[in-house]
Structure 1
């Protein structure tokens, strides 16, 4: 199975399930679909998927992106909420 086949549906509902950031002047969009984080270019072409297996198959409830360093933070609905900073891998 290819990583692009991980997605099973639309983005999670809510106001904080997508964010826009940039790295080295190049903008990108990140959104969450279930347990997965999807990174798209400024013109919405997929460049990276971070599968739910990376963070224990827990549904992501909130995501944010840094506009300077290109890091993505995510938050789950667990009682002990935590953030994981992920660096983007450009092709």
Structure 2
């Protein structure tokens, strides 16, 4: 995948998620064809991990079903959890 194509794909993912969700922070990176999404927002408060994952997959479903995205790692945090994660894991 060319660098411009990859950058566009990352921006498309960010735009889809930011449009659909109220996120305080969003990181989308790629290594080859594997994408990693870190999403931080109050919208995850009180949701099970499965519901949090579903909240991320929802806006990306067209890209997943088309095969454009197939290897995705998703990590979701509330702002409080994210502060703790950064302290303990130096993300």
Asked if Structure 1 and Structure 2 have the same fold, meaning a TM-score greater than 0.5 normalized by the shorter chain, the answer is no
Compare CA radii of gyration and give the structure with the larger one: 2
TM-score by length of 1: 0.31
- Greater share of residues in helix: 2
TM-score by length of 2: 0.31
